Amino acid sequence: MILSLDPTSHVPPFEQVRAQVAALAASGALPPGHRLPTVRRLAGDLGLAVNTVARAYRELEQSGVIETRGRAGTFIAVRGADAEREGAVAAREYAARTRALGLSPGRALELAHEALGGAPG
């Protein structure tokens, strides 16, 4: 991920980082699921304080652009049409797996409903 900061800009560094990551995510240059560098690593790469990058990441997370998955790291979030597309992929994978296990379509749907917290049918 290549970000560039303008030290002469009136825009604070955290906002420059936030805006650039948001723009890269929106354009698809950083696709959903792309792992971002750690706060420390990005701060070191950009020559910024850790708190500056942490603030940018916090604001990106609050706006739904990124998501933190604990120790796994920080990733570009799946949103809107991307979420629909990812859901369709997951459904196809589930269908293939239940067929391989020999489950009937009806039972597979019942299990999916249960997993989603709803009643079957």
Dist CA 19 CA 24 (whole Å): 9
Task: State how many domains the chain has.
Answer: 2
What global pTM score does this model have?
Answer: 0.67
Side chain identity at 40, as an amino acid letter? R
Is the confidence at residue 66, as pLDDT, over 80?
yes
Average pLDDT of the chain? 90
Is there a single domain that holds both residue 60 and residue 98? no
Helices 13-27 & 50-62 angle (0-180, nearest 10): 40
Is there a single domain that holds both residue 71 and residue 84? no
Is there a single domain that holds both residue 65 and residue 20? yes
Quick: pLDDT tens for 5-27.
999 999 999 999 999 999 999 88
Residue 69: other Cβ atoms inside 10 A: 9
Quick: pLDDT tens for 80-101.
666 677 778 788 889 999 999 9
Judged by DSSP in three states, 104 sits in coil
